[in-house]
Structure 1
């Protein structure tokens, strides 16, 4: 958040302004990532007051926490057409002293607005495939046919959009849905949005061409985008996409992982220019280069190749520089393919790629000597849940055991340090040995999703048992029995003015959309009509919004797609560590089949646990002493097979051997 840093320096670190604040108000600085409930309520108030919102959010409250004045960035003195912070503070103080009733009455009106805005919507519209079609149409209309992505600058990656479009393609065969997705993923990686030396995606692009990023790196972006590229790989089988996944996960493992296993939250966009002056911070200082620095680090031939490949220019290459921070600096982006560089420099492609690899290694090592961006080392359950999913699913598709180990270590840490066994509740944040703040819907939903993915990757029943346990607690704490859907908070903290029910799938999916998808997946894994009914009522609650604003509810459309499909139940009879089990599942994971569940009938505790929900699973067994696949829809299963080729043919619809109904 560029303006957050600016306001910190200009306003809150200004002794004169700080003195006024201490005299006139009680100042509370809230980390929106620790307390999204606080942020959500007052952001709604700000949008109601001003017609827009954003961060930094500056909100003035009455003693009983009712908002009466709000703004985003407020400068230290009047400029940019905005009043200065001291002027606003002084004026508010004057009104508070001379006409307090005016403020109290306005605060009460805003509270009433918030209650009305969060009231249960009585309209119910059953969502149908029409919502999926409207979602595709909406994304098609906003697609940038020149530079890819959706809308204009600034351009944010929205993995929920990729989730939906790939499923729409899978369901309908609509090639445009696939191409919009793939081209956007390609452009994002090729641009300055991606860290071409260290891996990982920056927060967003300030321009329409993906070249000039806001350099912050967020855990939730790495987690979701790793899955986006992974799913693109499952469809295309192009190494480009799997290589991006590996690079992102390598970055997370190296720089965003706590020694005990969980994942940190973010790295700042700013860092110090001078190691001797840590306050000399500047946006992108860690990531940008002068031509002179590059030439001093690389050999002459490496420099020539590197400059051609990454668009390096003597006077800098930033096409957009709204704050004048990148003059003379280069933001690395892929300007030419290896083949184009080879042709321009009369070299072989192999030689070019060798020189690119050696150059990146040297510059990465040189960059490591710079002052590092600040690491936000808090551990959030919600974002860790997303990252657990990414590592677990990468293990399924790419077969790297270290990915599974990373997912399991993070999940085990959360259950050990951030989960109260007695109360069956999650704590939202962990930092420096302290676990704090009540878990919210998104914590339960995202972590449950991670546990479901971890079960399907490891086939260890304990992860599924935990997912079911957390789902039951989530229902107790958050469900709206009257209207449908889930509240974002439990309601135990009475200082929060209203209980909201988030429906927007933005940079992160909403807690509701993931909670609904979890219910649908678990319903298939346990044959639970109760979970199906809860999911159906929740989809009904959000149905009208899915039809009228589908692009804003992209992950809800993913859940809707699952609910409208006939999910495959893929049951493997065998041991989790049997190589033949792995061979059978490899056939599953090489294909993009989003609407499926995987169960293991292991002949032991896992099978007995599953059979307590689905009794027929007691009869599922290996055939001929080999791990055996049962591929089912609505628990009507094809005849079992241990042959990998037959599994592939069944999945591809090439053969439909006589089946039996086991349900």
Structure 2
């Protein structure tokens, strides 16, 4: 019999709707039930493509005896971390503070007042490798709640007080006036030096295993190179991008990146594919091509964009959240990576002996295997020359067609506003750079869906939707910031000022609802559901933090409109980057990238000319291809005679044609150089 999760819209919660566990969604009613029964709450947090979440569900939550124990002595609450990042953030901070580590599934025991007192992540069904079995954990928590209630309450109270104190001190440097001072050039230089120390010069990337794609760090490095000419910054970006593109973390057949590499060499990935990773990396590779002309970067950017459209686009025009790591291996077992790996025999079955031999050498498939049971993850070792372009294209098409006959990984179909904002920016720019209007149209369709489905009349966002219906959960800061960023990028490419207007509405909400009196930013609005603390975290993780993403969008919007309010808000909030950048550059890289734009101006380009004039298009394309950090580009026809301000974007106001010809104005703070009427002059002005 289905439990209460059967009425939810989250695919992750729906995966647990048939569990014998009497799950509740996160709600006031669940905690009221715990108070009524005088029992603790089990909070289980995960997401649909999480491998170990599936494992724990199969081992414990589908087990009748474990479910009976849970149902009798606890109120069990299941949360999709992608749907409720605020709940996840608050309790993950408690888990990390208590245990020194974190991850999903996250398992937390709470009082009926939602105060945490015992923590963990994955628990096996029986004791294993020093971990207690989950039934043991349940019995231990039950006994503590029954026999040592006062002690439990004291622990919970102390944890909540500690979290509150962390919030007050978060990200504030020692100097009293620091939050109002954005980073200076020397701060960004110190951050670059810190990255150099952590850079893996042999294998690319930063740090050791597991190794995550550093998409936001790549953006900082490319912008730093553009502003300063630093060859070291460019070399780190190029080496990392090439290593990832040749490694198993990149899908050599279908395009797109897996979540991370379990090793330091980028060989064996954790196979789940997330929309946010692919959106950020698609944009990073497109920007690398823009800076260097690299054919590898061009190919990867386009293949990743095509992967997102082909595999993640929903019927409504948005983009689904993720593909699972696991799939049926053909025998009825769900196995991680089964969809993606190959044995030499499987290559022979599809390609025949001769082509299989070449493909095995090209993709690094060996009899020993690079993965499990003699299977290999496809890579591009130094043998790329073994297959010419025509043969490689044939081999890839045949292998991809064969792979598509395998049982496919599950897809989490929910549309997350923030991640769709990232995808809109990536697809719009990639489409513009490589003359792919279909990608720009895909970005436009996703933006239309966000406006129609996720945005209400008061410029408030809903975080998720499913099948075209918005979920009930309010958007968090990253939703407002990333959607605004996507709209601004789309407006730059299409010349449609309405996207600048929509971004302004969202950013006004950021200023009104998410900003503290000192300019610091909170992850949730001031009228959001109250948790044990109001989450606030400026550090970047798998995606830009809401804090740093908001800084970027506020700064770009100010460049289009001349708004000092939005620019000053960005500058105040960037104070945290000055504090953290030199000490922990990998964890505030998007903030560093935004600071590069601030130091560069950012520059603004107003392209004025008839939309059907090839000269207008040439100037517009030249501007879009500039590497100037955070460049704001507006394009539109000249204002009607007698009304020089009648334009869609304020940056275009009072910008006449030059002797009747299309023209581009390069400005900083709306103060412009002499106009350029040809791409060569414009390129010089932007260099």
In structure 2, the partner of 1:305 is: 358
CA contact (8 A) 2:596 2:629 kept: no
Structure 2 counterpart SS, 1:27: strand
Alignment match of 2:340 (pick from 284, 287, 310):
287
CA contact (8 A) 1:478 1:489 kept: yes
Distance in 1 (alpha carbons) for counterparts of 2:649 and 2:628: 27
Query: 1:226 Cα deviation (Å)?
Result: 0.5
Q: Deviations over 1:431-456 (max 9, x none)?
A: 13431110100000000000000110
CA contact (8 A) 2:227 2:628 kept: no
Distance in 2 (alpha carbons) for counterparts of 1:209 and 1:548: 26
Query: 1:613 Cα deviation (Å)?
Result: 4.9
CA contact (8 A) 1:484 1:541 kept: no
Distance in 2 (alpha carbons) for counterparts of 1:537 and 1:338: 49
Task: Quickly say closer, same or farther: Cα 1:493–1:30, change in 2 above 3 A.
Answer: same
Distance in 1 (alpha carbons) for counterparts of 2:166 and 2:479: 24
Alignment match of 1:157 (pick from 210, 213, 216):
213
* Bigger mean CA deviation after superposition, 439-448 or 600-609: 600-609
Distance in 2 (alpha carbons) for counterparts of 1:372 and 1:391: 25
Task: Quickly say closer, same or farther: Cα 1:607–1:401, change in 2 above 3 A.
Answer: farther
Alignment match of 1:623 (pick from 654, 658, 665):
658
Return 5+ residue gaps in structure 1 as ranges. 319-325, 342-348, 653-663
Alignment match of 1:197 (pick from 230, 248, 253):
253
In structure 1, the partner of 2:516 is: 480
CA contact (8 A) 1:444 1:474 kept: yes
Query: 1:603 Cα deviation (Å)?
Result: 3.1
Query: 1:607 Cα deviation (Å)?
Result: 7.3
Q: Deviations over 1:361-406 (max 9, x none)?
A: 1111111111110001000000000000001111232121111101
In structure 1, the partner of 2:423 is: 387
In structure 1, the partner of 2:139 is: 90
2:386 matches 1:333? no
Q: Deviations over 1:32-87 (max 9, x none)?
A: 00000000000111112112222221000000100000011111111110111111
Distance in 1 (alpha carbons) for counterparts of 2:306 and 2:422: 16
Structure 1 counterpart SS, 2:634: strand
Distance in 2 (alpha carbons) for counterparts of 1:506 and 1:86: 33
- Please give the residue correspondences for 1:490-639 in structure 2 after superposition, counting only pairs within 5 Å: 490-604=525-639, 608=645, 613=650, 617-639=652-674
Q: Deviations over 1:458-501 (max 9, x none)?
A: 010111110111111121121112x2221000143444111122
Distance in 2 (alpha carbons) for counterparts of 1:160 and 1:598: 22
- Please give the residue correspondences for 1:365-376 in structure 2 after superposition, counting only pairs within 5 Å: 365-376=401-412
CA contact (8 A) 1:378 1:431 kept: yes
CA contact (8 A) 2:257 2:278 kept: yes
Query: 1:154 Cα deviation (Å)?
Result: 0.6
Alignment match of 1:75 (pick from 95, 118, 124):
124
Task: Quickly say closer, same or farther: Cα 1:398–1:612, change in 2 above 3 A.
Answer: closer
Structure 1 counterpart SS, 2:666: strand
Task: Quickly say closer, same or farther: Cα 1:636–1:496, change in 2 above 3 A.
Answer: same
Distance in 2 (alpha carbons) for counterparts of 1:506 and 1:576: 40
Query: 1:304 Cα deviation (Å)?
Result: 1.7
Distance in 2 (alpha carbons) for counterparts of 1:494 and 1:587: 46
Query: 1:207 Cα deviation (Å)?
Result: 0.7
Task: Quickly say closer, same or farther: Cα 1:45–1:582, change in 2 above 3 A.
Answer: same
Q: Give the RMSD, CA atoms, in angstroms.
A: 1.9
CA contact (8 A) 1:158 1:506 kept: no
Structure 1 counterpart SS, 2:329: strand
- Please give the residue correspondences for 1:105-504 in structure 2 after superposition, counting only pairs within 5 Å: 105-120=154-169, 123=174, 124=176, 125=178, 126=181, 127-274=183-330, 277=332, 280-318=333-371, 326-339=372-385, 341=386, 352-421=388-457, 423-436=458-471, 437-481=473-517, 483-504=518-539
In structure 2, the partner of 1:99 is: 148
Task: Quickly say closer, same or farther: Cα 1:570–1:516, change in 2 above 3 A.
Answer: same
In structure 2, the partner of 1:656 is: none
In structure 1, the partner of 2:42 is: none
Query: 1:158 Cα deviation (Å)?
Result: 1.7
CA contact (8 A) 2:432 2:493 kept: yes
CA contact (8 A) 1:308 1:336 kept: no
Q: Deviations over 1:540-571 (max 9, x none)?
A: 24532234323321111112222222322211
TM-score (norm 2): 0.88
Query: 1:608 Cα deviation (Å)?
Result: 3.8
Distance in 2 (alpha carbons) for counterparts of 1:574 and 1:466: 24
TM-score (norm 1): 0.91
Query: 1:235 Cα deviation (Å)?
Result: 1.1
Structure 1 counterpart SS, 2:574: helix
In structure 2, the partner of 1:345 is: none
Query: 1:642 Cα deviation (Å)?
Result: 2.2
Distance in 1 (alpha carbons) for counterparts of 2:165 and 2:662: 57
Structure 1 counterpart SS, 2:462: strand
CA contact (8 A) 1:407 1:454 kept: yes
Query: 1:612 Cα deviation (Å)?
Result: 8.5
* Bigger mean CA deviation after superposition, 211-220 or 564-573: 564-573
Q: Figure out how many residues of one structure are paired with residues of the other and give that number.
A: 628
Q: Deviations over 1:145-178 (max 9, x none)?
A: 1111100111000211101111122222221111
